């Protein structure tokens, strides 16, 4: 994929690669260092696990305590209800008739009109 006129860049990168390769630690040493680092820090995994367990325990304790003491989060919807200034435009004349159920049956009928 490298074009012919990229020779200059190829040369520069090759020089960089040679320099990097000169300071490359051997593969077995790299793996050994990685293993040693991992072995030297076994406590960190345990510490992480302990932190998660403590957090979960704290959440459980707090929620249980709140439930026992009847502490509940109450939201007063009336205080958070917002009224738009143009709400009055939505009011139709006589809309109370639309929102109420008409009474049917003997109580609703006026015999005098029958």
For binding to other proteins (CB under 8 A), which residues are involved?
A: 1-2, 6, 8-10, 12-13, 15-17, 19-21, 23-28, 30-31, 33-35, 37-38, 41, 44, 47-48, 51
Q: Which is closer to other proteins, CB of 14 or CB of 71?
A: 14
String of DSSP letters for 56-90:
HHHHHHHHHHHHHTT------HHHH----TTGGGG
Q: Which is closer to other proteins, CB of 54 or CB of 109?
A: 54
Q: Which is closer to other proteins, CB of 27 or CB of 82?
A: 27
All residues at 6 or more sequence positions from 72 whose CB lies less than 8 Å from its CB, including other chains? 66
């Amino acid at each position: 994929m490298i074009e012919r006129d990229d020779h200059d860049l190829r040369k520069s990168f090759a020089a960089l690669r040679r320099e990097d390769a000169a300071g490359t630690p051997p593969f077995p040493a790299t793996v050994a260092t990685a293993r040693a680092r991992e072995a030297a820090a076994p406590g960190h995994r345990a510490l992480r696990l302990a932190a998660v367990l403590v957090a979960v325990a704290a959440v459980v304790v707090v929620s249980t305590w709140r439930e026992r003491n009847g502490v509940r989060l109450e939201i007063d919807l009336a205080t958070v209800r917002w009224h738009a200034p143009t709400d009055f435009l939505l009011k139709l004349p006589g809309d109370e008739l639309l929102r109420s159920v008409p009474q049917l049956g003997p109580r609703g009928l006026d015999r005098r009109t029958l």
